[in-house]
Structure 1
Amino acid sequence: MPIIEHSQTVLLLWAVIGYLIGSVPFGILITKAMGLGNLRDIGSGNIGATNVLRTGSKPAAAATLLLDGGKGALAVLLARAMVGEDAAQVAGLLAFLGHCFPVWLKFKGGKGVATFLGLMLALAWPVGIACCATWLAGAYLSRISSVGALVAALSSPIWMVILGYPQAMALAIVLTLIVFVRHAANIRRILSGKEPRIGAGK
């Protein structure tokens, strides 16, 4: 049972908490702690796991992937335990925005794919698993990581309906739109045939 009564103030509080959780730039912290250099000067300069992998450290990339996904899940689970489902959705959305637009990095963050998948797993685990499977299928078939991410995001509202979570469909649509906006450059490269493929040389 939720232990705090719903109110706009409480939801606002969890929006702030979710944002702060999501804004922790694990990619930068991990690469710095492991002596891998300044992540902003490597590859695309993105703070996510894909760019961390460009440092040549698979453990660092794996840790970034897990922690970026974990912070989305943590925001949802904490808010749900303390307040309820409305707060969980608000905290999840703001954790995602916190990753994409962290105040500590002048609002220049990552693209949010790992955080998206993590919060989906916490919000509705069957949907989260379906989205992860969709990402894997999209990435495997296209050999392009961003295609997997876009297809997974696009499928999330559909999975919400099919698997019985229509109350979260609006959130899934909002998250999908943000994922597509964050991947605008990737989409242009995909359409022009210039998007790097998984396993391709630099």
Structure 2
Amino acid sequence: MTFAQLNAFGLLGFKYCIDKTGEELAFTQNALTIYIIAAVLCAVMSYFLGSMNFAIIISKLKYKDDIRKYGSGNAGMTNMLRTYGRAAGICTFLGDLLKAVAAVLISRLLFGDPFGYIATLFCVIGHAFPCWYKFKGGKGVAVACAAILCLDQLPFVCLLIVFILIVAITKYLSLGSIMSVLMYPLFLDAFYSLHPYPMFSKPVATICSVLITCLILYLHRDNMKRLLNKTENKFTFKKKGTRSDKITEDKNDEN
């Protein structure tokens, strides 16, 4: 099995779904059933991994509190950074990164490239609507970024440049996130038009990228309203936030 075949079909796909006759590869009769089961397993695994919200976990274990009671009420990296300081924000980001990377790599290794996009979608859904925490989570930007980095490095670099430029010019994290996620399907389509891709990867990637974009835009609906009303808060680094204030109107968090 070559690396290209592993990337296209995964370990289980190559073993159970492919007829190998000389140099030719063809789907077996039961391949569709197996791939449907694999897609369901991939989605469930990624959702539960995504539901592990490290902002809530760290705030409860380290600070004996709930991050959702402070700042914007959002269980994400930015609110952790503002409320508990840089160390808490960095640890939250690393936790979100690791769960996204785990979901994507496990799915790709077992089932092939298309399932990495399914894993990304459901990991973001799990992060935004975690079953462990009454379906109240973060906005999925950090999780999506980590997963995209694992899947498509060139589109990730392009999206990162867009994000950095917009935030550097406007100081709005939300605007940088919104514009980057809007560009994601376009950059991904351009990437696949320039490079060969494994079987079924492009349609699955296109569908999942559009759904991820729609979901993250929905989660940023309040930010978009404030941007239009020119009431959105600009991002500034603070060494350490305060827990003296309960939930405020500041909902500029992106994770």
Instruction: Give yes or no for TM over 0.5.
Output: yes
Q: 1:177 to 1:48 in 2, by over 3 A?
A: same
The letter of the residue matching 2:138 is G
Match of 2:86 in 1: 58
From 2, 21, 25, give the equivalent of 2:53.
Answer: 25
Q: Which has the higher contact order (CA 8 A, sep 6+)?
A: 2
Query: What secondary structure does 1:52 align onto?
Result: helix
| Offset at residue 191 of structure 1 (A) | 0.5
Distance in 1 of aligned mates of 2:35 and 2:116:
13
The letter of the residue matching 1:179 is I
| Offset at residue 34 of structure 1 (A) | 2.6
| Offset at residue 169 of structure 1 (A) | 2.7
Query: What secondary structure does 1:164 align onto?
Result: helix
| 1:3 paired to 2:3 | no
Distance in 2 of aligned mates of 1:145 and 1:112:
13
Q: Is the 8 A contact 1:73 1:120 kept in 2?
A: no
The letter of the residue matching 2:220 is H
Match of 2:169 in 1: 141
Give per-residue Cα distances to partners, 1:3-23, cap 9 Å, x unaligned.
213421111011100101111
Q: 1:8 to 1:200 in 2, by over 3 A?
A: closer
| Offset at residue 200 of structure 1 (A) | 8.6
CA-based RMSD of the aligned residues comes to 1.9
From 209, 224, 234, give the equivalent of 1:187.
Answer: 224
Q: What TM-score, normalized to structure 1?
A: 0.93
Distance in 1 of aligned mates of 2:105 and 2:155:
15
| Offset at residue 128 of structure 1 (A) | 1.7
Q: Is the 8 A contact 1:75 1:95 kept in 2?
A: yes
| 1:170 paired to 2:198 | no
- Higher Rg of the two aligned structures: 2
Distance in 1 of aligned mates of 2:85 and 2:152:
32
Query: What secondary structure does 1:176 align onto?
Result: helix
Distance in 2 of aligned mates of 1:84 and 1:49:
30
The letter of the residue matching 1:113 is V
| 1:41 paired to 2:69 | yes
Aligned length: 202
1:105-124 matches, cutoff 5 A: 105-124=133-152
Distance in 2 of aligned mates of 1:99 and 1:114:
10
Identity of aligned residues (%): 30
Q: Is the 8 A contact 1:42 1:54 kept in 2?
A: no
Match of 2:241 in 1: none
| Offset at residue 36 of structure 1 (A) | 6.7
The letter of the residue matching 1:145 is L
From 16, 19, 30, give the equivalent of 2:44.
Answer: 16
The letter of the residue matching 1:188 is K
From 105, 122, 127, give the equivalent of 1:94.
Answer: 122
Q: 1:200 to 1:90 in 2, by over 3 A?
A: closer
- Structure 1 stretches of 4+ moved >4 Å: none
Distance in 2 of aligned mates of 1:184 and 1:64:
23
Distance in 1 of aligned mates of 2:228 and 2:60:
35
Q: Is the 8 A contact 1:118 1:128 kept in 2?
A: no
Q: What TM-score, normalized to structure 2?
A: 0.74
Distance in 1 of aligned mates of 2:84 and 2:76:
14
Match of 1:155 in 2: 183
